[in-house]
Amino acid sequence: MAITKTDFMRGMQCPKMLWLDKHRPGLKVIPPEVQARLDAGNEFGDRAMAMFGPFEEMTVYRPGTTIPDKKAMVEKTKQHLLSRTEVICEAAFVDYNNYCAIDILRKSGAGYDLYEVKNSPEVAEQFIRDAGFQYYIASRCGVRIGKIYIVIHGEGEEEFKPIDVTQRAKGLYTWINEHIWDLNRRQKEPEEPAIEVGEQCSLPYECWYYGYCHGTVNSSESSMPE
Ligand code: SF4
């Protein structure tokens, strides 16, 4: 694949982060509390799949592994779009090798509404970029996207709270198009980018290569959690 949603978000925070993901992922150190947050987010996402009732999940794994088979997921998604399945989860799309999987697509009118699920009490700017990237890929694949929502966690009995971000997410189309091809080129460069440490090392997320770039761990590429 060229650029995935995760690649885009990480590359926009710092192109060196994306380069290290591709060339030296063993240098990554994910703090336990971050891993716990990621795991909680995955569980929240799994529960959210049923927020509209019955659904079809597109996830397909390579035989004998837990590695997603993206090609098979894209094909399965195409079939469900053709048969106008009501709720499609982990809907996968490829455009010029750029890839995304959408948490939830829900049939509406002539197309689908898009739901990006985040285990958070509020909508952060990067969530809207995330949804914007998905809109970019899905719409280029010919899917008519209506509304776009970020699903955050509500209070009390309302576990899932969709927030309409349609206008802002769709408004990012040109910005994404301006950067996606450059990131694709930069991730393939043979040399590590010469980027100084700075604010981007912690904003919006603490970088998993923080120790490597700040010289607080050596580069022996030992046992890093994935
Ligand atoms: S620590 Fe900072 S400079 Fe190094 S890859 Fe991460 S964001 Fe980029």
Ligand 1 centroid from CA 28, angstroms? 11
Residue 191 tokens, joined: 């040399």
Helices (DSSP H) in the chain: which residue ranges? 5-13, 15-23, 32-48, 70-82, 125-140, 166-170, 173-187, 210-213
pLDDT for 217 equals: 67
Query: Mind listing the pLDDT tens digit for each residue in 182-209?
Result: 999 999 999 999 999 999 999 988 999 9
Assess whether pLDDT exceeds 80 at residue 12. Answer: yes
| 129-144 exposure pattern, b = at least 16 Cβ within 10 A, e = fewer | bbbbbbbbbbbebebe
Please state the atom number of ligand 1 nearest to the C-alpha of residue 207.
Answer: 6
Query: Residue 11: pLDDT above 70?
Result: yes
Q: How far is the CA of 18 from the centre of ligand 1 (A)?
A: 9
Task: Set out the domains of the chain in order of their start, with CATH numbers.
Answer: 5-213 (3.90.320)
32 CA to centre of ligand 1 in angstroms:
19
User: Rounded to a whole number, what is the largest CA-CA distance in the chain?
Assistant: 55
User: Is 70 exceeded by the pLDDT of residue 219?
Assistant: no
Q: What is the pLDDT of residue 218?
A: 58
- Per-residue confidence (pLDDT) for residue 223, from 0 to 100: 38
How many Å apart are CA 93 and CA 97, to the nearest integer?
A: 9
pLDDT on residue 222: 42
In this predicted structure, the answer to whether residue 225 has a pLDDT above a threshold of 70 is no
Reported as a pLDDT band with limits 50, 70 and 90, residue 91 is very high
Q: What is the mean pLDDT of the chain?
A: 93
- What is the side-by-side strand order in the sheet with 87-95? 56-57, 87-95, 98-108, 111-117, 145-153, 160-164
Distance 42 CA to ligand 1 centre (A): 25
Tokens of 103: 């948490």
- CA of 54 relative to ligand 1 center, distance in Å: 42
C-beta of residue 172 within 8 angstroms of C-beta of residue 138: no
Q: Are 221 and 24 in contact (CB under 8 A)?
A: yes
C-alpha 23/C-alpha 192 separation (Å) is 8
- Average pLDDT value for residue range 15-43: 95
CA-proximal residue: ligand 1, atom 3 (nearest): 197
Mean local confidence (pLDDT), 106-115: 95
Q: Which two tokens stand for residue 63?
A: 């035989």
d(CA 113, CA 6): 21
Strand partners, 106: 87, 113
Mutation test residue for ligand 1: of 27, 200, 217, the one with most atoms within 8 Å of CB: 200
Pocket of ligand 1 (CB under 6 A): 14, 16-17, 20, 195, 197, 200-201, 207, 209-210, 213
- Tell me what the mean pLDDT of segment 136-164 comes to: 95
